[in-house]
Structure 1
Amino acid sequence: MKDQVHHSAASGYKTAADTYVKGRPDYPPAVSEWLTGTLGLDGHKTVIDLGAGTGKFTGWLVATGAQVIAVEPVVQMLEKLSLAWPQVLAVSGTATDLPLPDASVDAVVCAQAFHWFASTEALDEIARVLKPGGKLGLIWNLRDTRIDWVPRLDAIVNALEGDTPRFYTGQWRKAFPHPAFGPLQAQHFQHGHTGSPEDVIFNRVRSTSFIAALSDQQRAKIDEQIAELIAGEPQLRGREVVTVPYETAAFVAVKNG
């Protein structure tokens, strides 16, 4: 591979694949229309699921009828994806070294992933494999900070991010504009992640790359901080089922030509 996977992803996701499956939220129903309408996916199209992880988004792509090629550099994540979606071609690769011919796919979708490799070099490679007029879709689930306890949870997590690329910083936007693509077009959807606090709060935080890479003692301290937050928040305290509010941000850029 031409590039190296960021150390937070390489070390964290190697051990957190199971937690990732349990803790990560799904996407809202409106994403189906975004994929078929905005991205134009159907049974005649081929799409790359780039940075596919454990396949959390893969099912949405499969549901469009398109041929799906999942690309993921972390072996442990790719194994989970292959078990969940055996009908999908799952290959090891990175955003700057895609194992596909020139102009061979109709769309590339990066779900919860583009911030890891946002660069001119990655967009060059994505443009290489896209057909003229092909589409790049970027999508992220974000906790909705308009709910007052959410920023307090984010503060616990963000204090430990170090040099890990994150969506919320906006650094990923510096890869644009890019000469191969038209302007980014954005849509936003609201939804919630409902389940036990163990899964939708604790496991969601534990699945964060740089949290998963911490020592057992450090992770236990994070668990303690989250438990204190829950105990002090009436919307969460003593509840067996809670809903974490999310916003989904979706972007599309069309390849020129």
Structure 2
Amino acid sequence: MGNEIHQAAREGYAVDAKSYARGRPEYPAELAGWLADELGVLPGSHVVDLGAGTGKFTKRLLANGATVTAVEPVDAMRAELAAGLPGVAALVGAAASMPLQTAIADVVVCAQAFHWFAGEVELKEIHRVLRPGGRLGLVWNVRDESVDWVAELTRIITPYEGDAPRFYKGDWRRPFDASPYFDLPAPSSFVNAHVGTPEEVIVDRILSVSFIATLEPEEKAKVARRLRRLVAEHPALSGHETVAFPYRTEAYCCSRR
């Protein structure tokens, strides 16, 4: 992708950053140990949060005591991050060209983002920014589709995804094959859930998906009606003031060569 941002990300994440912030889950507390032990996110370490979005994962990094620099190309997302975390440097930049000095970071982390820009050029740039011995961390909150109503959400939105990069497609792994920059990603997995009102954790979550957010108003309203109908009719959701949306948090540690 080079310096280009996929249209679905550029337009979808600019539509309503506040809904994105409401609808997306936080990260499990157990991830703190993984960040410290596997990536070396510790007090005094310098971490680059690449594709930082509204700062959800930035907060998790700060909780580990790290100094964090956020890099985010979408203005609306970066503005939301800056408003919520005014002490964090939030820079305009893309994965292929970060406005950072060489060997400045102990760790680079991409949460919910790497599939958008996975490529050899981007890995080379991340390698440049990392110090020798540094680590790259990749993290995704993945919907648990073993739950029937979660699987139904996927069936509702999949016809709209087009060529948008997705974690589940696995294309993000290809740049690591025979990469001169990083070892193969080492996986870890954690149970996670987003607890809140159905409107927040289901409707806002699905409407914030990049390729759903960019739909024409009439089609987007059609999706919203299907989501609310599912909430109203499914026995696990109907009449509940709060629900727990199940996720798996998939985390990968990549060692710098």
Superposition CA RMSD, Å: 1.2
4+ residue runs over 4 A deviation? none
Q: Which residue number in structure 2 is paired with residue 23 of structure 1?
A: 23
Q: Which residue number in structure 1 is paired with residue 227 of structure 2?
A: 226
Q: Which residue number in structure 2 is paired with residue 52 of structure 1?
A: 52
Query: How far apart, in 2, do the equivalents of 1:203 and 1:251 lie?
Result: 27
Q: Which residue number in structure 2 is paired with residue 32 of structure 1?
A: 32
Q: Which residue number in structure 2 is paired with residue 196 of structure 1?
A: 197
Query: How far apart, in 2, do the equivalents of 1:76 and 1:172 lie?
Result: 25
1:43-96 alpha-carbon deviations (Å, 9 max, x no partner)? 221110000001011101111111100000001110110111111111000000
Amino acid at match of 1:141: N
| The 10-residue stretch of structure 1 (107-116 or 97-106) with the greater mean CA deviation from structure 2 | 97-106
Once the two structures are TM-superposed, the CA of residue 198 in structure 1 deviates from its matched residue by 0.3
Q: Are 1:245 and 2:240 counterparts? A: no
Amino acid at match of 1:239: H
Structure 1: gaps (5+ residues): none
Q: 1:184 to 1:2 in 2, by over 3 A?
A: closer
Query: Which structure shows the bigger proportion of residues in helix conformation?
Result: 2
Query: How far apart, in 2, do the equivalents of 1:238 and 1:185 lie?
Result: 41
Q: Which residue number in structure 1 is paired with residue 6 of structure 2?
A: 6
CA contact (8 A) 2:41 2:66 kept: yes
CA contact (8 A) 2:133 2:255 kept: yes
Q: Are 1:92 and 2:92 counterparts? A: yes
Q: Which residue number in structure 1 is paired with residue 135 of structure 2?
A: 135
Aligned residues: 256
Query: How far apart, in 1, do the equivalents of 2:58 and 2:8 lie?
Result: 23
Amino acid at match of 2:121: E
Once the two structures are TM-superposed, the CA of residue 2 in structure 1 deviates from its matched residue by 5.6
- Relative to the length of structure 1, the TM-score reads 0.97
Query: How far apart, in 2, do the equivalents of 1:105 and 1:112 lie?
Result: 20
Query: How far apart, in 1, do the equivalents of 2:74 and 2:192 lie?
Result: 28
Percent of counterpart pairs with the same letter?
A: 47
Amino acid at match of 1:170: G
Q: Which residue number in structure 2 is paired with residue 76 of structure 1?
A: 76
Structure 2: gaps (5+ residues): none
